[in-house]
Chain A
Amino acid sequence: MFENLPLLMNGFAIAVSPYNIMLMIVGVFLGILVGVLPGLGAPNGVTLLMPLTFGMNPVSAIILLTSMYWGALYGGSTTSILFNIPGEPSSVATTFDGYPMAKAGRATEALTTAFMSSGFGALFGVVMVTILSSWATGFALKFSPVEYFSVFMLAFGSFVAFGGGSPIKTVVSLGLGLAWAGIGMDTVSGSMRLTYGFTELSRGINLLVVVIGLYGIAELCQTMQESVGSMEPVASKLSPREVFRAALAMPRYWIALLRSACIGLWMGITPGGPTAATFMSYGVGRRFSKAGARFGTGHPEGLVSSEVADQAAGSAAMLPMLALGLPSSATAAVLLGGLMIWGVTPGPTLFAERPDFVWGLIASMYVSNLVCVIMALTTVPLFAAVLRVPFSITGPLIVIVCLVGAWTVGSNMTDIWMVLAFGAIGYFMSRLHYPVAPLVLAMVLGDRTEDAFRQSMILAKGSIWVFWSNPLAGTIITVALLCFALPGFTALWRLASRRR
């Protein structure tokens, strides 16, 4: 367990130079900036910076780019909390409690809680990466499509089944998400599905376009519909003391912090990805936490659940990326391309071959996340002050941010029209109490789950029992199925006890 310590110290010696610290600060700053602008986001930001790094040495290059990635994750939470617009798919779950908090005048508290949670999640992730590096990669190699399918089902089971609301409406919402995820190229058969002859549909429907519409535009419609009085801004306390107070309250949520960090770590290594991790963590929190019933109404613990899992998964995902060349997020895929250009070949021997690079990167993750927390916290009063601007100005600006975000996703006019359509659908869904989150989760995991299932079936020649063919897959899929069955059981149990 401690054999990695000298390597890590060596890494610190490489990573902590004035030049690299400067790169971290620049990276984090740019990251927060692109994170705040939805659509631009971390993958685009990292892609844009890439040409600048071609001439750098690989350690500095990856420090700059990963710092930008961390910064973007923090920035993405900001717009989720303030305006209900997730800057990244992985901060959708942040809106569930973050936005209600901001609406109730607790923006400063929400932002501080989110950033502190992110910091904790990242730190937890990096410590685990340091300790588990050799074990985790071997573990990740055990994953065939069979295990992937089981993990995805577990994510579905733990979020959807633990959710509230009308079960039939949840099914409709899930179905819509699955259908949208199925549009476009099908990996297993290589054919274009559900495009109805429209060329525009052949590239599929982008998740961010859906999310910007369902959350951003739909929420604006809701706000507009209320009386003029509610359109007035809710002032939040801006003093640094408020930030400090919220930060000190963090240890109160220690159970949620640890639980979410473990879920994030699991999804980062397996690799289900950060977005799925946030949903799973939120779902589990809602079911097992004492405060679970108040999730979704603006409870800090809900915010903690999603933010910690997001960052823990994001950092842990560095491990399969370096050791296997397996990216578990869009940004990781871009970084992987960068590695090739810098002449670093990801693979099982990278840790032995380029310890300077690997441990320099891991050490930089400790430092740059510290930089992130400090920089993000200093922006809290600034961002919270945005809410003091009258809504008759911020409202139209949010509309523009949404449209610009939709455009940058694919430089395509159709996406902008689609944002409007999804905005209308989202408005009706939330007014009619259709849960929107299962739809988003279905879009994130829908086609990956289908691919994994069909790949498993090819490998097993059509035998469904392949999911119980080894202890790992068998355990995960059984737990997942139990999750789905749980609401039924509890209902039965309640019925039985009432009769008695």
Chain B
Amino acid sequence: MEQETRPFVSRFSVEAAFALFTALFGAVIIYGALEFNVGWGDIGPEAGYFPFRVGILITLASLVNLACVVFRHSAPAAGVFLTQEQMRRVVAFAIPVVVLVGVTAVLGLYVAMALYLLFMVGLVGRHRIRVTIAVAISTPVILFVLFEYVFLTPLLKGPLERWLGWY
């Protein structure tokens, strides 16, 4: 129970970090817009006019946000953003998803999703073997038939499909 409530990161730091992130993003937009003319030409606004101002808008609004968080330390900024237990759960969800995408790039969507489902349903979800196998096999097969044959929209394929002669 103690682990359940022990704070991992405060709301204050995340608010500040996200405001910094958006401010940085705004700066990147300003930089990108500067490649073009940002003024008002003789036929109205130039290509960089709006992106430049949008960038400034984002940066300024983010800095105001940051100031609110830092100086006022107002009520919403107080408290806990994630407890250790919550952090553990989010990470346990996010890492397999990132791995899934990484594996997809190499093995293709069908194989990657079968492996991911085996892992998530079987090992993490602790379902019975029969259920796990049924889900992990039927999902790619159903999607394969739907996308490759019914909708003629090929999904990303990998070495296994090539070896079997499906492109």
Residues of A within 8 A of B (CB): 34, 37, 40, 44-45, 48, 168-169, 171-172, 175-176, 178-179, 182, 186, 188-189, 191, 193-196, 217, 220-221, 224-227, 390, 392-393, 395-397, 399-400, 403-404, 407-408, 411, 413, 416-417, 420, 424, 428-429, 431-434, 450, 453-454, 456-458, 461-462
Residues of B within 8 A of A397 (CB): 117, 135, 139
For the complex, what is the distance from the CA of A20 to the CA of B146, rounded to whole Å? 25
Residues of B within 8 A of A413 (CB): 104-105, 156
Asked if A432 and B14 make an inter-chain contact with CB atoms under 8 angstroms apart, the answer reads yes
A48, A182, A226, A408 pick with most chain B CB within 10 angstroms: A182
Sample of 6 more A-B contacts, CB < 8 Å, known A400-B117, A403-B109: A182-B51, A221-B90, A226-B86, A403-B101, A404-B147, A417-B101
Interface residue SS majority, chain A: helix
Asked if A182 and B50 make an inter-chain contact with CB atoms under 8 angstroms apart, the answer reads yes
For the complex, what is the distance from the CA of A37 to the CA of B155, rounded to whole Å? 13
Closest to A221 in B: B90
A-B contact pairs, 29 of them (CB 8 A): A40-B153, A171-B61, A172-B22, A172-B58, A176-B58, A179-B26, A179-B29, A179-B54, A182-B51, A189-B36, A189-B47, A193-B51, A194-B29, A194-B33, A196-B32, A224-B90, A224-B92, A225-B86, A225-B90, A390-B127, A392-B124, A392-B127, A397-B117, A403-B101, A404-B155, A432-B11, A432-B14, A434-B18, A462-B44
Q: Is B42 engaged at the interface, CB distance under 8 Å to the other chain?
A: yes
For the complex, what is the distance from the CA of A194 to the CA of B31, rounded to whole Å? 9
Residues of A within 8 A of B127 (CB): 390, 392-393
Q: Report the minimal beta-carbon distance from A257 to chain B, rounded to whole angstroms.
A: 34
Asked if A458 and B121 make an inter-chain contact with CB atoms under 8 angstroms apart, the answer reads no
B32, B97, B125 pick with most chain A CB within 10 angstroms: B97
6 smallest beta-carbon distances between A and B, as pairs? A457-B44, A392-B125, A175-B58, A396-B120, A189-B47, A224-B93
Asked if B86 and A172 make an inter-chain contact with CB atoms under 8 angstroms apart, the answer reads no
Q: Which listed residue, B47, B61, B117, touches A396 by the CB 8 Å rule?
A: B117
Residues of B within 8 A of A186 (CB): 47
Q: Is B76 engaged at the interface, CB distance under 8 Å to the other chain?
A: yes
For the complex, what is the distance from the CA of A450 to the CA of B18, rounded to whole Å? 28
For the complex, what is the distance from the CA of A458 to the CA of B44, rounded to whole Å? 6
Q: Is B166 engaged at the interface, CB distance under 8 Å to the other chain?
A: no
Q: Which listed residue, B14, B36, B86, B139, touches A193 by the CB 8 Å rule?
A: B36
- Map CB proximity to A onto B103-128 as digits: 1 under 8 Å, 0 otherwise: 01100010001001100110011110
Interface size bracket, B side: 35 or more
Residues of B within 8 A of A429 (CB): 18
For the complex, what is the distance from the CA of A217 to the CA of B54, rounded to whole Å? 27
Residues of A within 8 A of B133 (CB): none
Q: Which listed residue, B46, B68, B93, B116, touches A400 by the CB 8 Å rule?
A: B116
- Map CB proximity to A onto B26-52 as digits: 1 under 8 Å, 0 otherwise: 100100110110001011111110110
For the complex, what is the distance from the CA of A193 to the CA of B152, rounded to whole Å? 33
Asked if B43 and A420 make an inter-chain contact with CB atoms under 8 angstroms apart, the answer reads no
Closest to A456 in B: B44
Asked if B152 and A48 make an inter-chain contact with CB atoms under 8 angstroms apart, the answer reads yes
Q: Which listed residue, B43, B61, B151, touches A48 by the CB 8 Å rule?
A: B151
B 119-165 contacts with A by CB, 8 A: 120-121, 124-127, 131, 135, 139, 143, 146-147, 151-156
Q: Report the minimal beta-carbon distance from A291 to chain B, rounded to whole angstroms.
A: 26
For the complex, what is the distance from the CA of A432 to the CA of B12, rounded to whole Å? 10
For the complex, what is the distance from the CA of A417 to the CA of B104, rounded to whole Å? 10
